[in-house]
Amino acid sequence: MTCRKTIRRLIPRAGALALAMFGLAACVTNGATTAYEGIGFREARFNEISAMRTYRACRDEAVALDELARADGSRGRYLASAQLLEKCESELGAEGRGVAVDERMRAYALSVQNYFKAGDMDKSRANLARFHQAFPENDLYYADGSSFTETMELLLGQRDLQGNFALLNVNGEVKDEVLRIDYWRRN
């Protein structure tokens, strides 16, 4: 009789154990589906990393051109640097659009400045507009705390000199020079 009592107690436990094993097996099956999703994620991440490596190599080449242009004041090198930066961004593709946003903002800003230094105001304005579209409500700041977008808008004639000119976050020397140029244009 003790053997029958023991078996009667073991049957519900064995049933519970079987249900637990079945439930565990179901979890393992779901895990296999997640593993396939992980592979797709890894592939997408690899594509992002590859795109950013290519972008950074291109950007580094453009920055080297910018440094040479600053050393000898060559408008042609400024133009070549700006064009190369623009090409780097256009070749980035969809894989890298959301990655390294700060780096891309700085490179875009450098292309705007280099077109300006090369004397191509139309391309500088166009790239500034693209900067606003690509990075809405974002800005960069120079070492003195002045705003990149407000400075470039002022230099490119997109800001009115009347009214809130004093409120612009622009370097004082730039403001003085723009006011001086405006004075001599009118007089």
Reported pTM = 0.72
Residue 61 has pLDDT above 70, yes or no: yes
> What average pLDDT does range 157-178 have in this prediction?
77
Residue 16 has pLDDT above 70, yes or no: no
CA nearest 94: which of 42, 50, 58?
50
Same-domain check for residues 57 and 133: yes
Kindly report, residue by residue over 76-119, the tens digit of the pLDDT.
Answer: 999 999 999 999 988 887 766 777 888 999 999 999 999 999 99
Same-domain check for residues 185 and 113: no
Same-domain check for residues 89 and 174: no
Same-domain check for residues 121 and 151: no
> What average pLDDT does range 4-20 have in this prediction?
61
Same-domain check for residues 95 and 150: no
Q: Distance between CA atoms of 89 and 102, rounded to whole angstroms? A: 13
Same-domain check for residues 119 and 156: no
pLDDT of residue 182: 80
User: In whole numbers, what is the pLDDT of the chain averaged over residues?
Assistant: 81
pLDDT band at 31 (very low <50, low <70, confident <90, very high): very low
Number of domains composing the chain: 2
The string over 91-130, giving b where at least 16 C-beta atoms fall within 10 Å of a residue's C-beta and e elsewhere, is ebeebbeeebeeebbbbbbbbbbbbbbbebeebbbebbee
The residue with greater pLDDT, 138 or 3, is 138
- The parent domain of residue 184 ranges over 139-187
Q: What is the DSSP letter of 141?
A: B
The winner for highest mean pLDDT among 14-23, 41-50, 144-153 is 144-153
Same-domain check for residues 146 and 183: yes
